[in-house]
Structure 1
Amino acid sequence: MNRLFAEWAAVLGDVRRRLRARGLRALPVTLTACAGILALQLLQHSRGTSGWVERLGGVYADLPWWQALLRTPLSVFLPDPSLPMWGLILQVVVVFGIAETTVGPRRTLGVALLATLAGTGFARYSLWAGPHWPFGLPAHDLLVRDTGPSAAVVALGVYVALRYRAGWTVATIVLAMVVEVVSLPNLAGYEHLAGVALILALFTHEPALLRRRGRAAPGG
């Protein structure tokens, strides 16, 4: 436990310094995400706009890929109507805020979108494979609206921990996700693991990708 606190002391120290230096200007993605969640929650419960919200941001495992891709950016911030909205906003404020002040807004948004796409890809695999194949789930567990920031939140927590070499934190998050899936197999839990697996794979190749981009840049 002491190791866990020590790992996050460095992270929170950087967060405090950058917030002190720039204030709310350090959190454009986080603030926009919170405003988006609030707005979409209101719109999806309004009679005249709920259909538009569904058509623009509702992602399902049986949607054509092109439709799922077009809806993914909005789906990240479209809350599940059955979940408490304030809990989602609190997750976004804390995790997106930490990520944005430590790894920057571009990486924060990129990791969030990639993790969400990984979850969407898993849902499609599971629907195709069926419950008798590894990681397959029954169709009635998959044909539900697959939206919200939870997969992005988990992946961002892992990514920030990796960047700070916080191995105990990474292990704790991954173990929590595995326990969730083993104790109660569900689409959300598997999607969280899919997002984490993608981020772990990308992080191992990130130095090589950055070196390649540096060589390709003019004067690099």
Structure 2
Amino acid sequence: MKQMTHAGGAREGTLAYARRAAVAEWGALFATVREHVARKRFAAVPLATTATLLILLFSIVQHLPGGERFVTHIGVVRASLPLDVSLLRTPLSLYVPALDLPVWGALAQVFVVFGVAEIVLGKRLTLVVAYVCTLAGTLFARIGVAIGPDHLFGFPSWVGYVRDTGPSAAVVALAVCIAFRCRAWWTGGTVAVVMVVEAVVLPNLAGLEHVVALLFAVLIAVSVEVFGDLWPRVLAGVGAATSVATEARRRTAGAVTP
């Protein structure tokens, strides 16, 4: 009986510790997301809903007759493409899922991570992080192909023809930024470790692009934390100074006019 009590007490203690750790890690985040979703329903995450529908749309279209050619011309990026073409296609390439992976995984990732990011980071910062980190991975692939396989981060020429699309880099970057904003250090650290291990164990273009996206996400998160309210204050000061100057000129003109 004592042994059973001791075992039961140990299990209860472990569950209590796990519960406290989960609350400390995700409690504030969960409360914020629940409040917004309960108040606005799907209207709380219009960006995530739109992104999810775009991925679903591209997935359907690229499996129709002639659809793959159409999707390729508007949203598929390869390192071998001219830079201006890659830059034009990159925003849409984020929503073009891989042909050989189940689309439901991309849909679930984007809806959950983009939705949480939209609530926690705001729509504008969510778009900036998603686009900048996806673009960073795309440019990294181009540089790797350009420097060649003889360098540490170089790639053989055939990598330049690999289809480089999908939301995974943006999802990784947004997850890191959310963790940083909410001080969910264990979550952010776990994402980082998993991405690095993936790049080491399975050294391919996607894994290395995920690490690049992770690094850029950390830079963005730190810069927003340090300088986040700097530019709004500067713009507010400029606006106030402009208003004062305009009012002064108006009064001067009124005083000079007979």
TM-score with structure 2 setting the length: 0.80
* Cα contact 1:4–1:169 (8 A) shared by 2: no
Deviations 1:11-63 (A, max 9, x none): 11211011011111011111111111111111111113322211100100111
Higher Cα Rg: structure 1 or 2?
A: 2
One-letter amino acid of the counterpart of residue 44, structure 2: A
1:219 corresponds to: 240
Q: Which amino acid aligns with 1:212?
A: W
Of 29, 44, 61, 2:79 maps to: 61
In the superposition, the TM-score normalised over structure 1's length comes to 0.93
Aligned counterpart in structure 2 of residue 152 of structure 1, from 170, 176, 179: 170
Q: Deviation of residue 138 (structure 1)?
A: 2.7
State the AA in 2 paired with 1:175: V
Aligned-partner residue type, residue 240 of structure 2: G
Higher RCO by CA contacts (8 Å cutoff, separation 6 or greater) = 1
Q: Which runs of 5+ in 2 are unaligned?
A: 1-16, 242-258
1:133-212 aligned within 5 A: 133-206=151-224, 207-208=226-227, 210-212=229-231
Cα pair distance change 1:186/1:5, threshold 3 Å = farther
Looking at structure 2, the residues matched to 34 and 121 of structure 1 have their Cα atoms a distance apart, in angstroms, of 25
> Over aligned residues, Cα RMSD in angstroms?
1.7
Write the deviation string for residues 78-109 of structure 1: whole angstroms up to 9, x where unpaired. Answer: 01111100111011121111111211222112
State the secondary structure of the residue aligned to 2:240. Answer: coil
Q: Percent of aligned pairs with the same residue? A: 43
AA in 2 matched with 1:102? V
1:166-190 CA distance string (max 9 Å, x none): 2222211111111001111011111
Equivalences, count: 220
1:1-220 alignment runs, 5 A limit: 2=18, 3=21, 6-206=24-224, 207-208=226-227, 210-217=229-236, 218-219=239-240
2:113 and 2:172 map into 1 onto residues whose CA distance is 8
